[in-house]
């Protein structure tokens, strides 16, 4: 209670000194970060106060009640959910000071350069090379399925730095400046008509060694921090009320249009409603565990459930609407900054949900993670685990 009272007082001091209505939103966000109220579980001086993560709800509620601007978290989700926890854990003091503040305020958007055309599910098989040249690394390769690359200033990047060791041990983790020469971003048009994803070509891109996260060759371990946080962010990143999310949209249609109902659709809706509620409560449990430590493999199970439920619920919605479910809005080439499931029609939700079982880790790989690391089942045989990467078949 004392910590909560102190937080409320600190919020009131911030509002008294930096009234959100009397200054630009960005200036207010910078002041909030400097006051340690950005993410209270981060260390002092880095946007936090070293408090338990659960105390953040107190700050957010007070600021929302005062009408203070937020940092548009959906637009900068990759930076907040993936880059920031990795930088905090593995970054140098200089890297933390340089990157975390503009990342949180939204001044600098981040993207993730992990997947490649030949290394998606088998991410450790990546081919993008980074070769040391003095104080720099010269990077050549191709990345794919990169959300927000067309808006990003920075990217978290993994590249192969030693082809003579097994694939998991020859990877290093970098921060890449997306405005540097040699970085080319091309849109990937999706089934929705949009291009929120990209392919990124890296041709002789020079990255200073000062922008390396973790030790040389230890990039796979660093990347696990990113991936575990990514899956929690996708599967249960934000608390939702009962009947929130996509199941709420379908339930509202069911109530508003009784002429669409059939016994079979009713049974399916009830089953999915219960499963969505189980997933919501499980997500709350995982968030509580996260408040007391780093995310574990349980996040993979949540992300797996998220993808399956989104696809099944959106399919039910299309069937429930009958002919209206076949309608689709303006199928035009746009470059969205965020994915908006709820401001669109049922056809968009149905098509966009197909990508949920690929992004953030394919459902097949997540099932392996749950089986091996949560349930303790035997691992699948891996004949390439100890072979040098250069000797693996392509």
Tell me the sheet residues that pair with 206.
138
Cβ atoms within 10 Å, residue 42:
23
143, with CB counted inside 10 A (0-12, 13-18, 19+), is buried
* Cα 201 from chain centre: 22
CATH class of 110-217: mainly beta
pLDDT of residue 335: 76
pLDDT of residue 182: 98
Backbone angles phi, psi at 181, to 5 degrees: -60, 140
Rounded Cα distance between 98 and 353, Å, is 36
223-374 matches 110-217 in CATH topology: no
Rounded Cα distance between 268 and 289, Å, is 32
**Active-site choice (62, 116, 230, 317):** 230
**Where do runs of H (alpha helix) occur along the chain?**
2-17, 25-34, 56-65, 77-78, 84-90, 93-105, 219-236, 246-256, 263-290, 298-321, 346-352, 363-369
Cβ atoms within 10 Å, residue 13:
12
230 is catalytic: yes
Delimit the domains of the chain by residue range.
Answer: 2-70, 110-217, 223-374
Closest listed residue to residue 284, CA positions, set 40, 78, 1, 54: 54
Tens digit of pLDDT at every position of the chain (394 positions):
556 668 999 999 999 999 887 889 999 999 999 999 999 999 999 999 999 888 998 999 999 999 999 999 989 999 999 999 999 999 999 999 999 999 999 999 999 999 999 887 789 999 999 999 999 999 999 999 999 999 999 999 999 999 999 999 999 999 999 999 999 999 998 888 888 889 999 999 999 999 999 999 999 999 999 988 776 666 555 667 888 888 999 999 999 988 988 999 999 999 999 999 998 888 887 777 666 666 667 777 888 888 999 999 999 999 999 888 887 776 667 777 667 777 778 888 899 899 888 877 788 888 888 888 888 899 878 777 788 988 888 7
Taken in order 96, 102, 104, 109, the sign of the CA dihedral is: negative
Closest listed residue to residue 48, CA positions, set 103, 101, 93: 101
Domain 223-374 coded CATH 1.10.760.10: no
pLDDT of residue 194: 86
Q: How far is CA 17 from CA 8, 10, 12, 47, in A?
A: 14, 11, 9, 17
């Amino acid at each position: 209670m004392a910590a909560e009272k102190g937080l409320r007082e600190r919020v009131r001091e911030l509002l008294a000194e930096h009234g959100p209505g009397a200054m630009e939103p960005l200036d207010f966000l910078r002041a909030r970060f400097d006051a340690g109220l950005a993410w209270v579980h981060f260390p002092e001086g880095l946007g936090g106060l070293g408090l338990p993560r659960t105390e953040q709800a107190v700050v957010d509620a007070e600021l929302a009640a005062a009408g203070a601007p937020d940092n548009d978290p959906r637009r900068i989700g990759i930076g907040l959910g993936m880059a920031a926890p990795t930088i905090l854990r593995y970054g140098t003091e200089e890297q933390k000071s340089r990157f975390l503040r503009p990342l949180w305020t939204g001044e600098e958007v981040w993207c993730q350069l992990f997947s490649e055309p030949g290394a998606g599910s088998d991410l450790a098989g990546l081919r993008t090379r980074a070769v040391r040249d003095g104080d720099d690394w010269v990077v050549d390769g191709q990345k794919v399925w990169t959300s927000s690359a067309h808006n990003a200033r920075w990217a978290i990047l993994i590249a192969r730095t030693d082809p003579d060791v097994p694939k998991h041990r020859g990877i290093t983790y970098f921060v890449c400046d997306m405005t540097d020469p040699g970085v080319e971003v091309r849109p990937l048009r999706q089934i929705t008509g949009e291009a929120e994803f990209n392919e990124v070509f890296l041709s002789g891109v020079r990255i200073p060694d000062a922008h390396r996260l973790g030790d040389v060759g230890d990039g796979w371990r660093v990347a696990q921090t990113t991936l575990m946080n990514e899956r929690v962010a996708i599967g249960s990143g934000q608390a939702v009320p009962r009947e929130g999310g996509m199941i709420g949209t379908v339930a509202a249609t069911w109530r508003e249009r009784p002429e669409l109902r059939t016994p079979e659709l009713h049974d399916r809706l009830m089953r999915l409603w219960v499963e969505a509620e189980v997933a919501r409560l499980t997500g709350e449990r995982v968030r509580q565990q996260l408040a007391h430590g780093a995310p574990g493999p349980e996040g993979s199970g949540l992300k797996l459930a998220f993808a399956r439920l989104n696809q099944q619920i959106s399919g039910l919605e299309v069937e429930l609407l009958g002919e209206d479910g076949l309608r689709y809005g303006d199928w035009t080439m746009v470059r969205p900054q965020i994915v908006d499931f709820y401001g669109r029609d049922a056809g968009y939700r149905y098509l966009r949900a197909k990508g949920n079982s690929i992004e953030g880790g394919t459902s097949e790989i997540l099932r392996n993670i749950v089986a091996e690391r949560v349930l303790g089942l035997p691992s699948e045989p891996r004949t390439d685990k100890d072979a040098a990467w250069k000797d693996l078949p392509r």
